Amino acid sequence: MFGKEVSLFKLCGFKVQLDLNWIFLALLVTWSLASAYFPAHYPGLPDVTYWWMGAAGALGLFGSLVFHELAHSLIARRYGLSIKSITLFIFGGVAQMDEEPPSPKVEYLIAIAGPLSSFALSATCYLAFEVGYYYVDLPIPHLGVIGYLAFANSLLGGFNLVPAFPLDGGRVLRAALWHWKKDLRRATRLASRVGSLSGLFLMLSGVFHVITGNFIVGVWWFVTGLFLKGAAGASYYQLIAHITLKGEPIRRFMTPNPATVSVDTPLDVLAEEHFYRSLHDIYPVMEDARVIGCVTSKHIAGIPRDQWNQLTVRDVVTACSADNTVSAEEDALAVLSMMKRTGTTRLLVMDSGHLVGVVTLKDLLRLPALKLGVEGNE
């Protein structure tokens, strides 16, 4: 979502991924717990104990976020919605769905499942703390970590109930507006505005805290508000893109009669007269008036420049495949999902084996952006 994502494992059939930016949060949580939280609540322990408690607390927070998102994912799957993956990033986690819930009821159930799971996990940790303290006589460091997880999960559940879209509470708000207005688009627009205003409030609160001397808290409030404000707008844009593109053939968005290169074009000419001039990173390759594949800037990036005039496109061409071509009648929303999944932003458009156009990510996003701009002027 925000940086490079790595796959960790599968849980209940869902792929769990980690945005590498989450490592920053893990280090910050470990440091905060080891240097402040645990020494304040359990004084007198060795420094090394505080550090392993901090590391255990950060690991427990990781598990708590996975548990929270797993609850969303299981309910979504129960109602036939496809969950691509569960991804943890610097501000928490997200269960990535390819489609919107079919009804306000399903939206509500998916949204509320996360906070309820966090509250249930908090209650379980609190019960474990009580049993460990009064009946099992667990060591203080163990009790400290369990107690922290009880607090952290209650905080996680409570924060997500804030009615600021796209937080869970904002999705509950959208479900209520959807049920009332009978219009998902309008409900999302209203809920997104609440989310944006909430983000703006957090940003202003962050500035206030910085001015009054609480710099670290102020920075976190400001960054969280900035994220929330951006996420609210992005979530509404995602819905607009879904509504605009679904059911539309990719032919509508492609650029017809695209520029091509001959299979005999030298690589130095390809670079100077095509890649550098047009700034396109992929070209269809033609031989005897038929397309035989494509060539990208990556194909020549690893070849020494002094060899470019000795090689031609024939030496680096990649055959047409499902990774670089799409049918002219393919659903535009499906193509957008494919681009996001593969990272490919420019595809050849084929019709009965003939090249008819090229479509880029920018082409697909232009109409949703236009509609969003028109709405902004209403």
In this structure, are 132 and 215 located in the same domain?
yes
Helices (H), the chain: 22-32, 38-41, 47-78, 104-131, 140-160, 168-181, 184-211, 215-245, 267-270, 276-278, 297-301, 332-342, 361-376
CA distance 355 to 293: 10
pLDDT of 125 higher than 90: yes
Tell me whether the omega of the peptide bond preceding residue 166 falls within 30 degrees of 0, making it cis.
Answer: yes
Residue 279: what pLDDT? 67
| Residue 343, SS3 per DSSP | coil
Residue 309 falls inside a structural domain: yes
Q: Which of 46, 55, 53, 63 is nearest to 11 (CA)?
A: 63
In this structure, are 221 and 260 located in the same domain?
no
Q: Of the given ranges (39-48, 160-169, 279-288, 323-332), which has the lowest mean pLDDT?
A: 279-288
Residue 99 falls inside a structural domain: yes
Are the beta carbons of 23 and 31 closer than 8 angstroms?
Answer: no
Instruction: Kindly report, residue by residue over 204-252, the tens digit of the pLDDT.
Output: 998 998 888 877 678 778 888 888 888 888 788 888 888 888 888 988 8
In this structure, are 231 and 348 located in the same domain?
no
Domain finish residue from 196, 218, 245: 245
In this structure, are 179 and 292 located in the same domain?
no
pLDDT of 84 higher than 50: yes
Confidence of residue 4 (pLDDT cuts 50, 70, 90): low
Residue 176: what pLDDT? 93
Instruction: Kindly report, residue by residue over 344-366, the tens digit of the pLDDT.
Output: 777 888 888 788 888 888 888 88
pLDDT of 88 higher than 80: no
pLDDT of 90 higher than 80: no
In this structure, are 287 and 367 located in the same domain?
yes
CATH number, domain of 368, equals 3.10.580.10
In this structure, are 307 and 236 located in the same domain?
no
Q: Report the chain's mean pLDDT, rounded to a whole number.
A: 84
In this structure, are 227 and 82 located in the same domain?
yes
* CB contact burial 327-366 (16+ within 10 A = b; e otherwise): ebebbbbebbbebeeeebebbbbbeeeebbbbbbbebbbe
Report, as an integer, the average pLDDT of 63-89: 85
Domain finish residue from 228, 245, 262: 245
Residue 29 falls inside a structural domain: yes
Residue 39: what pLDDT? 92
In this structure, are 343 and 226 located in the same domain?
no
Confidence of residue 120 (pLDDT cuts 50, 70, 90): very high
In this structure, are 276 and 234 located in the same domain?
no
Residue 68 falls inside a structural domain: yes
Residue 226 falls inside a structural domain: yes
| Residue 97, SS3 per DSSP | strand
The more confident residue out of 271 and 376 is 271
In this structure, are 88 and 220 located in the same domain?
yes
Triad 365, 369, 374: Cα angle to 5°: 155
Give 257's contacts (C-beta < 8 A, 6+ positions apart). 357
Percent of the chain topping pLDDT 90: 24
CA distance 265 to 249: 33
What range defines the domain where residue 138 resides? 5-245
Structure tokens at 202: 């957090």
Single-letter amino acid code for the residue at 3 = G
Residue 378 falls inside a structural domain: no
Q: Would the pTM count as exceeding 0.85?
A: no
Residue 1: what pLDDT? 41
In this structure, are 87 and 225 located in the same domain?
yes
Q: How many structural domains is the chain composed of?
A: 2
Instruction: Kindly report, residue by residue over 264-318, the tens digit of the pLDDT.
Output: 888 888 888 888 887 677 788 888 878 888 888 887 877 888 888 888 888 888 8
β-sheet with 83-89: strand ranges across: 5-11, 14-19, 83-89, 92-97
In this structure, are 289 and 351 located in the same domain?
yes
Confidence of residue 2 (pLDDT cuts 50, 70, 90): very low
